[in-house]
Amino acid sequence: MIRVPPPMTLDEAIAGRSSVREYTGQRLDDAAIAMLLDAAVRAPTAMHAESWRFVVVQDEARLARLSDRAKLLLDDRARRLHERPGRRGPEVFSKPDFSIFYNAGTLLVICADAGNPFGAADCWLAAENLMLKAHAMRLGTCVIGSAVSALNEPDIKAELGIPASHAAVAPIIVGTPVHEGSPTARRDPEVLARR
């Protein structure tokens, strides 16, 4: 019997989402992907351009190749995105079996029209909608910024069907989390001025 999780309020989704870095490897089905993309395109979009485009990558071997390519291109700053103080250091990148996609079964790449000055902004707004929706569906997500350089290499764009007019902006892994995540802390909002 399929167990349908109880609905989550918007406040619960915002407060409860956290980046997930351990996945069962299970792939999302087409219905789940459609729900996520439908949520993504409800985001605000400058000049109503809706220039976002999506690439779905689920082929295991392709994800592994993309990860290897991205690892080669990572600079020190990007490497730090993968470090976890006390848990994982820079040595992780020399491990051939370390995937920057954390073995998630699905990578969704949100691409922007490179000629639209607000294209990237639209993509990030769509990304947050997608991640909150995924959390409400009890799926895990994580932005993988360190994949961006590799995803924008001309041969990889061609392989993934990203036209020259578009750029990969927001790579997001999605999958079934191994365990329930817990939200990370935030500083209180800093209000610079009230005038």
Ligand X SMILES: Cc1cc2nc3c(=O)[nH]c(=O)nc-3n(C[C@H](O)[C@H](O)[C@H](O)COP(=O)(O)O)c2cc1C
Contacts to ligand X by CB under 6 A: 18-19, 21, 81-82, 142-146, 184
CA distance 51 to 49: 5
Residue whose C-alpha is closest to residue 129's, from 18, 46, 37, 52 = 37
Closest approach of ligand X to the CB of residue 149, in Å: 11
Cβ closest to ligand X, residue 14 vs residue 34: 14
Cβ atoms within 10 Å of 185's Cβ, excluding its own: 4
Residue 126 and residue 54 in contact, taking contact as beta carbons nearer than 8 Å: no
Cβ closest to ligand X, residue 143 vs residue 162: 143
Residue 52 and residue 167 in contact, taking contact as beta carbons nearer than 8 Å: no
Cβ closest to ligand X, residue 28 vs residue 78: 78
Cβ closest to ligand X, residue 11 vs residue 29: 11
Q: SS3 for 164?
A: coil
Q: Which two tokens stand for residue 68?
A: 């290897």
Closest approach of ligand X to the CB of residue 144, in Å: 4
Closest approach of ligand X to the CB of residue 3, in Å: 25
Q: Is 190 exposed, middle or buried (0-12, 13-18, 19+ CB in 10 A)?
A: exposed
What residue number has its CB nearest to ligand X? 145
Closest approach of ligand X to the CB of residue 78, in Å: 7
How far is CA 125 from its chain centroid?
12
Closest approach of ligand X to the CB of residue 83, in Å: 9
Residue whose C-alpha is closest to residue 165's, from 49, 3, 17, 61 = 49
Cβ closest to ligand X, residue 21 vs residue 133: 21
Cβ closest to ligand X, residue 111 vs residue 142: 142
Closest approach of ligand X to the CB of residue 151, in Å: 12
